[in-house]
Amino acid sequence: MYKQIASNQRKTFLLMTLFVIFIIFLGWFIDYLTNSGNIFLILAILLSIIMSFVGYYQGDKITLALSGAKEIKKEDNPYVWNLVENLCITAGLPMPKIYLIDDPAPNAFATGRDPKHASIALTTGIIQMLENEELEGVIAHELSHIKNYDIRLMTIVGVLVGTVVLLSEFFIRGTFFGLGGRRKNNQGGALLLLIGIILAILSPLIAQVIQLAISRKREFLADASAALLTRYPEGLASALEKISQYPHPLRRANNGTAHLYIINPFGKTKSFLTKLFSTHPPIEERIKALRAMI
């Protein structure tokens, strides 16, 4: 388990580094093509700062509101409260806020900027469907996201993706309105312009693929951390097996928060393209990895 955690941390760091390099290159390349100085690089930095502050301080509230989650106290559901509290004591974490989502689809997610400002949301369906050890494995998975600062990481990645999309859109709009003059000089400039347009169109797609890759790596890491916390990998493996068999999506599933859930909230994915852009690795691979730890 320690080897898997270390491996996923290295791969995630590498992906994040490549993401940042990609954004810097994109900003520089757009500036070069449009002969606009460093305007796009400066714009990327400013957008990242503004979006980071909003995501850092308000991202959890927005996520919980979008999901329709309602906060509960101990007297509302002592069973769930005690499970979370016991695992927090074991993990050495402060008690997060607990939310319930009135939905028969079994799912769960964690949100917040750090362990002191964290929340866990569970659907009513997952509480009803799973046995004690299985639900404990799911909660341990979400606590692992909090302990590993996965949610902060995914907020940063979301900001980077948003920056790439905005830079690309600004470049495409600027091209049609005649921004810059470098491309008018010669045929080589026209070729660079064509390359720039293609890159601007493909950049959001590339950024999304990188975001999804990072999200998938964090799911494997959280699975390993949950197994380490409960000392019972089969609990989470069995939970994932049951959850994956539920045929219907969450009622309030959306693309903006899909990567936070323990499994894809849109239901089963069948086509190659759907799997490529899924925010989660295949359930079969996660179950296989967990059972290899037994």
| Residues marked as catalytic | 142
Helices (H), 35-179: 39-67, 78-91, 124-129, 132-147, 150-176
Beta bridge mates, 119: 97, 111
From the centroid of its chain, how far is CA 161?
11
Instruction: Provide the angle, in degrees to the nearest 10, between the axes of the packed helices 150-176 and 39-67.
Output: 130
Residue 283 CA to chain centroid, in angstroms?
A: 16
Kindly report the CA angle at 220 between 216 and 224, in degrees rounded to 5? Answer: 165
Q: What does each C-alpha distance from 166 to 29, 110, 124, 163 come to in angstroms? A: 15, 28, 38, 5
Cβ-based neighbours of 239, under 8 Å, separated by 6 or more = 130, 134, 135, 137, 138
From residue 29, give the alpha-carbon distance in Å to each of 21, 32, 182.
Answer: 12, 5, 12
Q: Determine how β-strand 70-72 pairs with β-strand 117-123.
A: unpaired
